[in-house]
Amino acid sequence: MCISSAALAAFLTLVGVDHVELGDDRVVVKATTRDAHWVADGDLWCTMAPQIDRMARVTQAAAE
């Protein structure tokens, strides 16, 4: 999933600075289950968090 820099900035204002680590080309949002890593890709910021969450749910369901 990719979003614009403006959309990421708006999202980060909702999250709060105590849950965010900023780098030059990466933003890490700390979460209870797992961290979401946003990586710069040109003018967009992209994360694999939705796909990783989906894979975790499938793996858990298969184990049950």
pLDDT digits (tens, 9 = 90+) for 8-49: 999 999 998 899 999 888 899 998 878 888 989 899 999 886
Give the three-state DSSP class for 25.
coil
Is the predicted pLDDT of residue 50 greater than 80, yes or no? no
Residue 21 makes CB contacts below 8 A (sequence gap 6+) with 27, 28, 30
Neighbours of 60 (CB within 10 A): 9
pLDDT value of residue 63: 82
Is the predicted pLDDT of residue 62 greater than 90, yes or no? no
Closest CA to 36 of 26, 54, 49: 49
pLDDT value of residue 47: 86
pLDDT value of residue 53: 65
CA distance 56 to 64: 13
CA distance 34 to 24: 21
